[in-house]
Structure 1
Amino acid sequence: MGMTIMRRVKFNAGHRLFRHEGKCQFFHGHNYVADFYVTGPETDAVGRIIDFAQLKALLKGWIDENWDHGFLLNVEDENGLNAIRMVEPTKYFVLPYNPTAENMARYLLDEVCPSVLNELGVQAVKVVIWETEESCAEATIDQDEKREHSLFDAFQTDSFPTGLNW
């Protein structure tokens, strides 16, 4: 039986969307909510995949240090980066792409979660970013793709039984 837990982290951050054709091209901010869905192969002696407090400390710790009360900007947004660097003190984080809710969820799932959960035997399988109460985006790890990839990898190795007649 698979089990998944979810931990919610709230934070405030500003951003602007590089090359946006509307009002989101301007600096503005949101009260974000990030939902982290985490799974593991088994529960511990207490019956947990991971302690919620430990999950909070790791994920909220990363967000507090890097994103909370800061500005998220696209690495290609030279104008935005130059403007934000002129403010002292300032806190900003440069993403490899536009800081949309979709890309923020993807970055947390692909980059942050593996680095902070790496040694705990658990894996984030979905991250949902709520930009407003009515709008969210989610990034998920597709389990079917992982199974197909694993099967494909098996074909690329000598792990199949020998002597099969095709």
Structure 2
Amino acid sequence: MQIRLYKEVSFDASHRLLHYQGKCHNLHGHRWRVEVWLSGCTDKETNILVDYNEIREVVDYYDHEIILNESDPMVPRIQEFHDVITTPGDPTSELLALLIRDEIERRYQNCGRNIIVDTIRVWESPTGCAELRHEDS
């Protein structure tokens, strides 16, 4: 059966935008909110599309972490004291939407399931988010 579902997950993390001039150039934190819409065929045995906790696991990777551009000179210094998640570019809500979408889809493709992230929104604040839709990729 083809179905669509929704899951929302929040996480707390700090980041900075290396290539941006303004407040976000400084290391700072957010309560991020991620909304994910998935579609695909349910498992024939369980009638489940995905376990909601698997989506949470992908997003929780970022929870209470420091997220920096892999070329940020702060990375080696902070790594002396704390783990750092590095990204291939500035860790914007736009890039995090792409990375989280890719990880969710990769996990299901690796087990032979064709699960599509139709839409993902990553909220950096209560008033601003990036949205990535499947048809736009």
TM-score above 0.5, yes or no: yes
1:19 alignment counterpart:
19
1:85 alignment counterpart:
79
Match of 2:66 among 68, 71, 74: 71
Specify which structure has the higher proportion of helix: 1
C-alpha deviation, 1:48, in angstroms: 4.5
Secondary structure of 1:131's partner? strand
Query: Is the 8 Å Cα contact of residues 17 and 99 (structure 1) preserved in structure 2?
Result: yes
Question: What amino acid is the match of 1:84?
Answer: I
Paired residue total: 135
1:102 alignment counterpart:
94
Q: In the TM superposition, what whole-angstrom CA distance separates every residue of 1:42-93 from its partner, at most 9, and x where no partner exists?
A: 575776533xxx12x21221332x311001111121x121231132xx1321
Query: Which ranges in structure 2 are unaligned for 5 or more consecutive residues?
Result: none
Q: In the TM superposition, what whole-angstrom CA distance separates every residue of 1:82-130 from its partner, at most 9, and x where no partner exists?
A: 231132xx132111111000111011112x1122222244222221101
1:134 alignment counterpart:
127
Residue 123 of structure 2 is aligned to residue 125 of structure 1: no
In 1, the alpha carbon distance for the partners of 2:131 and 2:123 equals: 9
Instruction: Provide TM-score, normalisation by structure 2.
Output: 0.85
Backbone CA RMSD of aligned residues: 2.3
Q: Which has the larger radius of gyration?
A: 1
Question: What amino acid is the match of 2:108?
Answer: L
Instruction: Provide TM-score, normalisation by structure 1.
Output: 0.71
In 1, the alpha carbon distance for the partners of 2:32 and 2:22 equals: 20
In 2, the alpha carbon distance for the partners of 1:14 and 1:59 equals: 21
C-alpha deviation, 1:34, in angstroms: 0.6
